[in-house]
Amino acid sequence: MILQVEGVGKQFGGLQALSDVTFDLPEGQILGLIGPNGAGKTTLFNCINGVYSPTTGRVVFRGEEVTGSKTYAMAHRGLARTHQIVRPLNELSVRENVTVGACFGREGHGLHKANEIADEIMAFVGLAERADQLAGSLNVGQKKRLEMARALAARPYLLLLDEVLAGLNPSEIAHMVSIVRRIRDERGITIIMIEHVMHAVMNVSDRIFVLDYGKQIAEGTPEEVANNPKVIEAYLGDPELAERLMSE
Amino acid sequence: MSGWRKYTGLIVTLLIVLLLTFWPLITGKDITRETIFTILLSVALASSLNILLGYTGYVSFGHVVFFGLGGYVGFYLLSVQGWSLWIAMLAGGAASAILAFLLGKAILRLRGGYFALATIGVNEAMRAFINNFEPFGGPVGMTLNFQVYRDYGGPAQALWLSFYMLAALTIIVVIISYSVRMSKFGLGLLAIREDEDAAEVMGVIAPNVKTWAYVLSAIIPGILGVIFFFKNGNIEPAPAFRLHFSIEMIVMVMLGGQGTVLGPVLGGMGYQSLRGYLLTSPLFKNIQLAVAGALLLIIVLFVPAGVVGWLRQRFPALRRVLQ
Amino acid sequence: GGGNTNNEPAAANNASSSSADTSSAADTSTDEAMPEAKTETVVIGFTTSQTGSQNVSSVRQVNGLMQWMNAVNDAGGIELSDGTKVTFEAVTYDDESNTDRVQELYTRLATEDEADFLISPYSSGLTAASAVIAEQYGKVMITTGAASDDTYKQGLTTVFQAYTPASRYLTGAVDLLESLDPSVKKLAFVYENSKFSTDVVEAAKSYAESKGYEIVLFEGYDPETTDFGPFINKIQDSGPDAILGGGHFQDGSTFARQLNEKNIDVKFFTLLVAPPEPDFADLGDAAVGVIGPSQWEPLAAFTPESAQEAGLEWFGITSDEFVSAYEANYEGEEPSYHSAGGYVAGLILQKAILDADSIDPDKVKAALEAMDLLTFYGHIKFDTTAEAHGLQIGHSMVYIQWQDGDAGLAKQVVWPIEGATADTLYPMP
Amino acid sequence: MAILEIRDVASGYGEVQILWGTSINLEEGHLTSLVGANGAGKTTTMRTVMGLLKPWNGSIWFDGKDISNLSAHAKAEMGVVLVPEGRQLFTDMSVEENLEMGASPKRARDHVKKNLDLVYEMFPRLLERRAQKSGTLSGGEQQMLAVARGIMANPIVLMIDELSLGLAPVLVLDLFQSLKLLKDQGLTMMLVEQNVQMALAVSDYAYVLAQGKVELHGPSRELAKNEHVRSAYLGL
Amino acid sequence: MDFLLASVIDGLLLGFVYGIAAMGLTLIWGVMNVINLAHGPIIALGMFSLYFIFSLLGLNPYLALILVAVLGLLLGILIYFVAVHRVIDAPHLSTLLATFSVNMIIIGLGTAAFTASPRNVEFSLGSFTVGSITLLGTRLVAAVLALAVTGGLYLFLYRTRPGRYIRAVANNRDAAELMGVPSAQILALSFGLGTMLAAISGGLIATFFPFTILAGGVYELKSFVIGVLGGLGNPVGALFGGLILGVLEGIIPTFMPTTWVPVLEFGLFVLILLVRPQGLFGARK
Ligand SMILES: Nc1ncnc2c1ncn2[C@@H]1O[C@H](COP(=O)(O)OP(=O)(O)OP(=O)(O)O)[C@@H](O)[C@H]1O
Ligand SMILES: Nc1ncnc2c1ncn2[C@@H]1O[C@H](COP(=O)(O)OP(=O)(O)OP(=O)(O)O)[C@@H](O)[C@H]1O
Ligand SMILES: [Mg+2]
Ligand SMILES: [Mg+2]
């Protein structure tokens, strides 16, 4: 198991954003994390990578307890993430952004080696032509790829992707999905992805985990989850309604 | 050949500093030396501050505290304890570094305006404390007995000595500034400047990196303080911890272009030359402050990236030369 | 008005050369016309606090100095034995009452402007900063408006003090108090934290203690202080009979005003610097009874006759001449001791050049070291020992008090008894 | 009649030109979609219409008046309202204060009560969170609030950038339904939406933007059926 | 005991005026995230305006204060449009330097025009003696006025539409603009209000202490301390912060030399920044 989440809960003032979330993640899996808005998905990421320390429960990463570690410590241990609302280092070039990931990530390379890694990763995600552009001037799709590239450059064991497909058009989504799959297949990196684009997440995940109001309501293969009435009610909505809207 | 080209930015900057250094030797005039002394001092201070302000993005409004504290510690050792200038300089630098380290652990947690205010607070608290601290002469400060200068070849010779040491330190600062800019450490600083939380998520140990940047930007002002007040012959709390001076340092960094190696050098030169001119110009001397303010305002409003930043934007071809 | 109008000094950058011939005589075209009437222009450098806390006193000091300079120049300069006429030219800048600026500007005066002699700025703090530069560049400097003793104990060799040193500023006040009321025992010292005032009160304190006084409060305030509330509360709490202290004009007059507003009862109140200034009268009631030490008063009578009596050489004009010339020059402004101090600094230099019969700095310095004379301002003599070279040892203070007389509020000399113009008003109203 | 006309507008950031003569007409009471690849200039178009960017060329007409050079707040006063990309909430204010701020234009002040009921009905989650600081809402909740605040302005023309960004599928459906309701009440809308299929399904008319120019436009239904359009521009 | 009481009362009365000065600073800071380094010189201009109106026009100082307030408001709006508006969205440093250059301009012109010699407003409301404590009339009136100003500002910010706009613009300028709020005008108004408060506090201070064009600097530094004590953008907090500072300034000298006051003051300031940067009373935004 690369990651074990045991009874994790998080409270903000009077709000229980997460309660008693438990799951294990074997190495090499892609886990889809879905759930309605405000279900606590991002909060769960934040508890795993150390942005918040959980109010209850523990997080075990690669056999060691890491509950409440600092974010940079988690990065050094081999955990990388992207942000739902992108956070590029605006005044630095795309290459420098990616180099930061390589320099300070798990392997902690020197500048020279880190630059080589950055070049390779930028080519991989399709940002090579943008290497010398300032990160702030990228468009949404490119910024998402940049987030991805920075995380990958850290050579993580586990990658947390928070809505990397949001704001992308269908062809971009297809491209991004193939990248996600290749990350796992070619690099053996385990992935958890939060996503609202259903066809994509159903397509790429080995297993899906569903949160609602901070609680786990379902877990299983994409098919099992898609047909789970609780999930349909809380999250997917009435499939016929969609049909009806489109055919009107 | 290509090995050299990699360092063009550094070489250009060093050439400018060296030119300044040799100027008084060429003219052989005391006043040139005095003018260049003021300029080099500004260049060195601005370059040190730039490590924090330009690279890390933390606006220190009270950076003069390191200049003052270093100056006081060194001056005390020189004049009261009778130690040699060299040791006093080291002690001044060390005192500033230690203060920066302790402060770094504490106030660098604060962001943006809060940090800026905290540095003002630290400076004012330090000044008020020294004002009450009898071993350092309290409010009236300390005066160097002229006997001390004789150890360094008499007052006139001591002035030259101070100048050479300042020049050497300026060169060191420029090299440090360049090395930081080009290093992994520097990249970490830039990442912090852009988005500290995101940088941490990527693995930059921000608390440590920031603290070291702070320490690095404090050492040289500490040593410079010793040289400056040794040359001055006396030290008092008000001039040693003059808040206005801190702000002038920021202005210099800003004027030249923050976050670049060359910027603070040009900024320091430009600011001091302009000020020297205004102070003595018969036309402006009565309203020199207002004229300087108006010029500053124009720069802030219309050339916010500073000279170097503006040139880099305008002529991308010059980027290699203008680091 | 006490503005900085009439003394607008020579423009900054025009001091091209110190020994250039000037066109005072029509000898520029024809060499043989009057070959012996050579004119030397001596450049005198100094700064003025046109702005900042020392502004009032500094401007008066410079007014005095300029009056001397204009008088000498109008008279065709000083004539040396070889017939050379020495005239003077001033180069000055605004030091903003700021030590940093002082050092920068004196360096400029000593090098760029090639000043031959320097005069100090006003105040001990600024002067200490400028003295360092004078010494570093080996320039002879006459200090005035600067009484602190400390400066002269740092191994200086080219700096000469016109003022009575701080250590003798308030000792006379203690003597005066003792003569007025032997029953008084409790003193409070509240003083400005500056070189000068600290020197003054420390000397006065040990003098008072040696005379058996009890010091119930001894505390300094920062130069920018405008609110004396906390001190006044402390004074009230410690209940002294007499208050001594102060610092410079601004803080001193504020202190006096607030003490009066709060209706504090003291019998005897002495302040440094502020009371002798004519502007102190603006305080009205709050000024009545306040005593202050003065370097010079128009009423103090130093004359050629008194010089003869004391066996000293007399030099220069009389007090009356000084006052009337000053009032004529500066729109009726009454000179204060700072004005006289400025004038006498020039006078000392003039006498030294005459004695040296040269403008060579080394010779002038030797003449200064040998100087021992009486002027309208009093006795001038410098310490020549290595420990305190340049310290003034000839001159001493007089004490004035503001009294409400028939002609309204007026200053009276009350001490020393020999020179007194009125009895001391005691206790204070 | 077109209530809002964008005539041959050019615009961009700094010295970079993004729009190269874009023309769009919004018919009164219609829902118009603006689609195109990432970076095509959709957001830039909306920002220019709103006055957050100055048009370099061309003009913008609202209700027969040239509004090209008015500032954003003046346009909002007139009833042209934008729900921006990136939400732009008042993060330090509560949910309800945000909604109240939405009703700042004079024309909205009399309808606060009614509109508040409307948006709480559309987004019950907001009612639940009405006293929470909006900065701490989840991504999707923030998106709801942004849309709701736009509605509070009682707009004549409502422009929404990235309507369904980060919203759960169930909500997206509800939202589209609500939009249809609003449309039925006579509101004119312009929509940018990555879920192109859905967008074309609910809108009346659509513009396809590519590299800062309008490549194609026509009734949504026709575009949705056009195979060439589907493959070349919509990535379907 | 009397001594302590007298010191506390002195401090308290002064604290009201500190509070107003700080309120101006913290309003501008809270609303536009601008640390106004021209605050000190504006306080000094307040002093000079009152002085001139009083001594040239012979107006009662408290009537003059109304004029001073209006002038302060207008000056602030002017400064905003000339120096701040262009850089309001730029990084922190730009606004700091922009306001600092205004500081230099005011001080530069001020010294040229007024010289650095101290001025005094020769005005007194006499004093009242209660037991052994003497209270000055001018200070009592100043305290009352300070209370009134605080109340007015509070009501304005939290009970009026422009007040709400100010807070909205403070939070997200673009969004406010999209909601139909003329953000530039609102920012200018906020800046104007901030400088108006500075000018008022300057005017009040002028009725009890002598001053020069440089005199505002001290109050600017105090305002920083108070702003942090009371929490940014919170007018009531600023008033309380001012009172706390005033009382400290009164009490500390009863235990140690007065020159230690700034050491403790700034020490406390840094400490509060460290442990409670939102201020003792929490930043209300
Ligand atoms: N710092 C915080 N303080 C208070 N409440 C918070 C904070 N962060 C999150 N919340 C609340 O916790 C809940 C879960 O938020 P979270 O961001 O994890 O949702 P999410 O599942 O990622 O939703 P989305 O799909 O909309 O992004 C939300 O209701 C949110 O308002
Ligand atoms: N502030 C900016 N400065 C410079 N270029 C920018 C800026 N904002 C956007 N751009 C560029 O303008 C182009 C158009 O961007 P715009 O945001 O209008 O596209 P969009 O159609 O909304 O795309 P998306 O679907 O990604 O939101 C992009 O190439 C982008 O990189
Ligand atoms: Mg989320
Ligand atoms: Mg967009």
Q: pLDDT tens across C378-417, in order?
A: 899 999 998 899 999 988 889 999 998 887 888 888 877 7
Are residue A171 and residue A230 in the same domain, yes or no?
yes
Give residue-wise pLDDT tens across range C49-106: 877 777 778 999 999 999 999 999 999 999 999 889 999 999 998 887 777 788 888 9
Are residue A72 and residue A100 in the same domain, yes or no?
no
**Nearest-CA residue for atom 30 of ligand 2:** A139
Give residue-wise pLDDT tens across range C93-133: 888 777 778 888 898 899 888 899 999 999 888 998 899 89
Give residue-wise pLDDT tens across range B249-291: 998 998 888 888 998 999 999 998 888 888 777 777 778 788 8
Are residue A20 and residue A62 in the same domain, yes or no?
yes
Q: What is the CATH number of the domain that holds B256?
A: 1.10.3470
The phi-psi region of residue A152 (left if phi > 0; otherwise alpha if psi is between -120 and 50; otherwise beta) is: alpha
How far apart are the C-alpha atoms of B298 and B155, rounded to whole Å? Answer: 42
Q: What number of other Cβ atoms are within 10 A of residue E203's Cβ?
A: 34
| Nearest chain B alpha carbon to C102 | B232
Does residue A9 have a pLDDT over 90? yes
**Average predicted confidence (pLDDT) for chain A:** 89
Check B132 against E257: CB less than 8 A apart. yes
C400 near C386, Cβ under 8 Å? Answer: no
| Nearest chain A alpha carbon to B190 | A92
Nearest residue, CB atoms, D141 vs list A37, A166, A168 = A37
Which ligand sits nearest to residue D139's alpha carbon? 1
Q: Which positions in chain E touch C3 (Cβ < 8 Å)?
A: 115
Q: Which of A155, A182, A215 is the last residue of a domain?
A: A155
Retrieve residue C368's tokens: 């200064």
C100 near B239, Cβ under 8 Å? Answer: yes
Mean pLDDT of residues grouped by 10 in chain D (236 residues)?
89 84 92 86 92 92 92 92 86 89 89 91 89 86 90 93 82 83 90 84 89 89 80 62
CA neighbor of A143 nearest in space, from C390, B198, B51, E195: B198
- Percentage of chain C beyond pLDDT 90 is 48
Domains, chain E, ordered by start: 2-275 (1.10.3470)
Put simply, the chain B residues between 194 and 213 with a CB less than 8 A from any chain A CB are 194-195, 197-206
Q: Which of A155, A179, A212 is the last residue of a domain?
A: A155
Length in residues, chain B: 323
- How many Å separate Cα D103 from the centre of its chain? 17
Are residue A21 and residue A137 in the same domain, yes or no?
no
Are residue A133 and residue A232 in the same domain, yes or no?
no
**DSSP state string for A53-81:** --SEEEEEETTEE-TT--HHHHHHHTEEE
Centre of ligand 1 to C-alpha A214, Å, is 9
Ligand 2 first shell, C-beta below 6 A:
A 137-141, 167; D 13, 16, 18, 36, 38-44
The angle that helices E92-114 and B243-256 make with each other, rounded to 10 degrees, is: 120
A229-238, C247-256, E206-215: lowest mean pLDDT where?
A229-238
Check C236 against E6: CB less than 8 A apart. yes
| Cα distances (angstroms) measured from residue A15 to each of A12, A194, D98 | 5, 21, 20
The secondary structure element, H or E, covering residue B158 is helix B154-181
Put simply, the chain C residues between 34 and 63 with a CB less than 8 A from any chain B CB are 50
CA neighbor of C280 nearest in space, from C258, C259, C252, C300: C252
The predicted structure's pLDDT at residue A238:
67
Q: A9 at the B interface (CB within 8 A)?
A: no
Are residue A71 and residue A194 in the same domain, yes or no?
yes
Ligand 1 first shell, C-beta below 6 A:
A 12, 15, 17, 35, 37-43, 84; D 136-141, 166
CA atoms within 13 A on the CB side of E259: 24
Q: Domain of residue A127: give its range.
A: 86-155
Query: Comparing A141 with A41, which gets the higher pLDDT?
Result: A41
Does residue C17 have a pLDDT over 50? no
Does residue C204 have a pLDDT over 60? yes
Q: Which positions in chain D touch A141 (Cβ < 8 Å)?
A: 38-39
The predicted structure's pLDDT at residue C2:
32
Amino acid (one-letter) located at E189: L
Nearest residue, CB atoms, A196 vs list D141, D162, D167 = D167
Where are the alpha helices (H) located in C211-303, listed in sequence order?
229-238, 249-261
Are residue A39 and residue A161 in the same domain, yes or no?
yes
Query: Comparing C183 with C97, which gets the higher pLDDT?
Result: C183
B55 near B323, Cβ under 8 Å? Answer: no
Query: Is residue B323 assigned to a domain?
Result: no
Q: Domain of residue B119: give its range.
A: 2-318
How far apart are the C-alpha atoms of D117 and D40, rounded to whole Å? Answer: 37
Give residue-wise pLDDT tens across range C301-337: 788 888 888 888 999 999 899 999 999 999 888 898 8
Q: Do chains B and C touch by CB distance (3+ pairs < 8 Å)?
A: yes
Backbone angles phi, psi at C272, to 5 degrees: -80, 150
| Nearest chain C alpha carbon to B30 | C111
The predicted structure's pLDDT at residue B276:
81
How far apart are the C-alpha atoms of D196 and A136, rounded to whole Å? Answer: 27
Instruction: Tell me the count of C-E CB pairs closer than 8 A.
Output: 79
How far apart are the C-alpha atoms of B239 and C99, rounded to whole Å? Answer: 7
| Cα distances (angstroms) measured from residue C293 to each of C413, E6, E241, E276 | 10, 32, 43, 51
Scanning the structure block, which residue is given the tokens 């440590």?
B208
Centre of ligand 1 to C-alpha A12, Å, is 9
Query: Comparing E89 with C304, which gets the higher pLDDT?
Result: C304
| Cα distances (angstroms) measured from residue D114 to each of B208, D111, D120, E31, E134 | 54, 5, 10, 31, 61
Does residue C25 have a pLDDT over 60? no
The pLDDT of B141-145, averaged and rounded, is 88
B100 — pLDDT class (breaks 50, 70, 90):
very high
Specify the pTM.
0.85
How far apart are the C-alpha atoms of B125 and B111, rounded to whole Å? Answer: 20
E154 — pLDDT class (breaks 50, 70, 90):
confident
Does residue C167 have a pLDDT over 60? yes
A247 — pLDDT class (breaks 50, 70, 90):
low
Q: Which positions in chain A touch B206 (Cβ < 8 Å)?
A: 72
Q: What is the CATH number of the domain that holds A9?
A: 3.40.50.300
Please identify, by atom number, the ligand 2 atom nearest to the C-alpha of residue D85. Answer: 27
Instruction: Give the 3-state secondary structure of residue B165.
Output: helix
Retrieve residue B226's tokens: 């010793």
Q: Which positions in chain B touch E225 (Cβ < 8 Å)?
A: 121
Give residue-wise pLDDT tens across range E38-65: 999 999 999 999 999 999 998 898 999 9
The DSSP 8-state label assigned to residue B248 in this structure reads H
The pLDDT of B183-198, averaged and rounded, is 93
Q: How far is C203 from chain B (nearest CA, A)?
A: 16
CA neighbor of D121 nearest in space, from D177, D83, D81: D177
The total of structural domains in chain A comes to 2
Are residue A140 and residue A183 in the same domain, yes or no?
no
- Percentage of chain E beyond pLDDT 70 is 98
Are residue A70 and residue A175 in the same domain, yes or no?
yes
Nearest residue, CB atoms, A139 vs list D38, D166, D173 = D38
Q: B160 at the C interface (CB within 8 A)?
A: no
The total of structural domains in chain B comes to 1
Are residue A74 and residue A90 in the same domain, yes or no?
no
Query: Is residue B31 assigned to a domain?
Result: yes
The pLDDT of C177-181, averaged and rounded, is 91
